[in-house]
Amino acid sequence: MPLGILSEVYFGVPPILVLIGAIAMTISVVWLGISFLKMKHVDTN
């Protein structure tokens, strides 16, 4: 996402890289939350 912002500002590239970065970060946070909830339910003795 930072590369998308810089390329948009300096080179006039369309903001598609910013959108891809934002979607990737959102998916990764959701994935982390699901993984955390799954790990929380594991019974360790």
- Taking only the tens of pLDDT, the chain with its 45 residues reads 678 888 888 888 888 888 998 999 999 999 999 999 888 766 665
Phi, psi of 10, deg, nearest 5 = -85, -35
Domain boundaries, position 14 = 2-40
Domain-embedded: residue 16: yes
Domains in the chain: how many in total?
1
Q: What is the pLDDT of residue 29?
A: 97
Domain-embedded: residue 19: yes
Structural contact between residues 15 and 8, judged by C-beta atoms closer than 8 angstroms: yes
Burial, 8: exposed, middle or buried (Cβ in 10 Å; 0-12, 13-18, 19+)?
Answer: middle
Q: What is the pLDDT of residue 41?
A: 67
pTM of this structure: 0.68
d(CA 44, CA 33): 20
